[in-house]
Structure 1
């Protein structure tokens, strides 16, 4: 890895856009060889401990930025990640000798001896071990436990009372620390309602925050106005916290959200790792302010933001995530950044032979596949040419001249690793410790010469990789569809919002898994989120002072959860019998007689 600081965006942009042609320029050679290049916008030194980002809450920043901003308060740093084979070797190291790896888990506590590969093109006896699929038994156990839960109850398994009470306590502590004449204090129900409004912004987006409380018919949101006042929402938003500033670790770049992240990781894995196929990839969280962990990755859909490493099921359930704070993170010696990420994310898996793990060429190397084989994991990943362990495969330039669908195969007899190379739109190479090129399948591609779709040959390892790799993308897509749209002025606001979104997406995913197991049709994400938002906003303790427009959501009305009778300030017409009453349902917020209460909330009498 290399790092270089620049005082201006113009200087850095000139380097990236117009690289030097001087072959003796050592720094430019490193830039060219980097497998990933990140631009980090450093905060100004005098603001290093500030929570605030001075941006207008109503300004919509452009996401299609192709160049760096010209005016920055701090310096720029160019970070390049080099492949471990490109780094200068240490004379004291020998690839064939035993290397001690720093432990991130009990599985990494023993020494690891890397064996050099012995490649053969004729060795096709296959693999002695295959992964065991125990997912159906685990999903059945989950269904037996929560199969009858409604969406709100499932959601509360992930964003549980412990997390909300922690946010309440942290917010009150932050609001009252070293502040004179301030008596701010929030509570459990207020934070639940606040979170409901946050989720509502992903379903119903308006140009400015204040418009959620507007009286104009175009923007009117009665459910928001009746749940919480505008000024109260803004006050809670200004103090919202998920940490105790007096105890945070100054060396932790994500200290403001680290405790919350740990609590969520614990809840995400409360059912264990129940999927047979797992995938590892990066997730970008959009952010345009100033922070030392902010990344700029050219060519990504989200170019500016924070980077998280995610372990997901093949269908998009998030098990674990790790924020990436830069090169200062602790890494096991002998492995590169991507390899260490894989080892850390797999820490909580106790029975490795029940899972397959898939990742892309940022992570994969022959050494990593060998290490995972030693630990009992079944792994597959696309790999870059300089990380194959010198596999005896047809050179990419030569294979590109051959017909599409051409493939080549080599097997490492010493370590039990297969290498498969395939000619598609580009040359793809895969390493695996449990998949080979056989059996051959077919893939449909468009032939420009024939101007029609044709079938080409596809090796089995590539086919399995394509079918199991997209889990993180599915999870990321589910978040982006209804991402919280309320912006904040603090650098960690987008991380708090993403944490809330992740909890709701995982709740929807587990709902879908249970419904599919019972062979029932699951709710769409829109329906699921609508149910949860409606329940959160209607569960506030504020009694209605006037009659609502329309009926409550039927899923809320008949969910048989937390419906109680309270008194109102004035009499209104009962929603069931239309006579005057001073009572109402606390959750549904509709006037109802005590004698009509059960009838109104029972589905058999509602028709």
Structure 2
């Protein structure tokens, strides 16, 4: 694939001009315009280098940029711009003509790239075809948004809202709910803690009545036990009342039915 200086030179040989931004590290660009060789600060004068019809320019205004042009020379225009660092609220700068013309006629690829980078799909991948697919998807969304704004009565819908509406429409009717295995949380909320928590048995010095099997209303129905639940603080026979008390909701009825 040809680099930007090679493309500019070939276009110039066919009497076709070119002007645009370019990376200073591109093959064929002068090494003297790199950040390491030429540190520029905001407000510094632009630096030009020429080779034949090609003119390379490095300039730092709000940020550093490198331009390549076969249409312009090393001339600058005086511009009066706003600033908050001076009492008058304005300052004068020397802007390269190539930058001034580029800003006036910028469009097409530059505008498309600007719109794409606003809401890029955040899918990173080391595979080249995945990056190409995501780029095509982003371009398609931008083009669809432009067509939608021209063909509908909602020309002011932003790209963000448009993408959200497209995603919602694609997912409608195709989403699913994850089901939790086991006992449902709603039924667990209606159960006492003794049936859902982890409890332990311990031995005491006293012999109170067991809350499960002891029934003084029946002949010889009293049952005493030295064991109790540590968390519930109730007397329970070790076997089988402790297990029944912590696994059966109506433990008294279950015992009387036996």
Fold shared, TM-score > 0.5 on shorter chain: no
**Greater length-normalized contact order (CA 8 Å, ≥ 6 residues apart):** 1
Q: TM-score, normalised to structure 2's length? A: 0.41
Q: TM-score, normalised to structure 1's length? A: 0.21
Larger Rg: 2
